[in-house]
Amino acid sequence: MSGLFDMTGKVVLVTGGSRGLGRAMVQGFAEAGADVAIVSRKLDACETAAAEVEALGVRALPLSCHLGRWDEIEPMFERVWDHFGKVDVVVNNAGMSPLYPSLAEVSERLFDSVIAVNFKGPFRLSAVAGERMFHAGGGSIINMSSTASLTPSPGTAFYGGAKAALTTIAQAVAAAYHPRVRVNTIVVGPFATDVAQHWPDPPDPANPRRTRSGLAIGAPEDIVSTALYLAADASRYVNGAAIRVDGGGWAMGRANAEADAVS
C-alpha cells in the first residue's frame, strides 16, 4: 500500500504554499518524495519555504504570482513546467476571506478581489494546467474549497459563494480532461492557521486543536493526508469528488466541547 502514496519523481505546484495549509501540504508532499513549486504573492516567504524543504533532499522552486490576476497565471505555470520538465499535481490553495463590517459596506473592489483570488484564478490555472497535463499524459488537480460554501455566514457571504463556484466548476474541469487528469475538491473546515488569530473565537494557544471556547478545529498538518491521497495513485479512481475535512463541522465541534465539559 505504501507505494500508492509514494510521490518520488512527481512535481507538485501549490499556490498559497508559503504559509498555513499550503505550507503544511508543501511539507507533506516533499516528505513523500515530490519536488515542489511554492507559489504566493510574497517571493521572500516562498524562498524561505523552499530552502526548508530542500533540506529534505527534494527540489523546490519559489515563485511570486498574484493568483487573482489572469495574465500572471499561464506564465507562472510555464516557468514551473520549464524548470521541472513537467507538472503532475496542481493544488489551488491560494485564497482570501477578508473581514468587513457589514454586507452593505462591502466595496466592489473588495468583492471583485475575493472572487478573483478564490474563483477566477483557480479556474484559469485549472484550465491551463489541465490542458497541458492532459496532452502530457495525465495529472491531478486539487481545489481547496471551504465549508463556507455549504453554510455561509454574513461574514463569509461572497467568499462562500466563490468557494461554492470553485467546487462546482471542478466537476466540469474533471469532465473536460477525463480520464487523464483528475480534478477533486477538499472542502475545508476551521483550521488553526495564522488567519484564525483574527476569528472572534481564535485557537487556544495551549491546545491548537481547540478554540478558546473549546470548539474542535484542525491543525494544519491534519490536511496533509487527504491532499496526499488525492495527489497520489491511491485515488486513481476518484474524480470530480468533494471531500469534507472539517472534523464533522462546527456543530459536532460544539457537541464535543459540551460533552467534554460534562465529563
Length of the chain in terms of residues written: 263
Which three three-digit cell numbers place residue 149?
A: 460554501
Cβ neighbours, 10 Å, residue 45:
17
Helix/strand/coil percent split, the chain, to 5: 50, 20, 30
Contact 201/212 with Cβ under 8 angstroms? yes
Q: Is the dihedral of CA 2, 90, 226, 134 positive or negative?
A: negative
Contact 216/209 with Cβ under 8 angstroms? yes
Which three three-digit cell numbers place residue 171?
A: 466537476
Active site residue 177: no
User: 100, 159, 177, 229: which one is catalytic?
Assistant: 159
Return the amino acid letter for 1. Answer: M
3-class SS of residue 217: coil
Residue numbers annotated as active site: 159
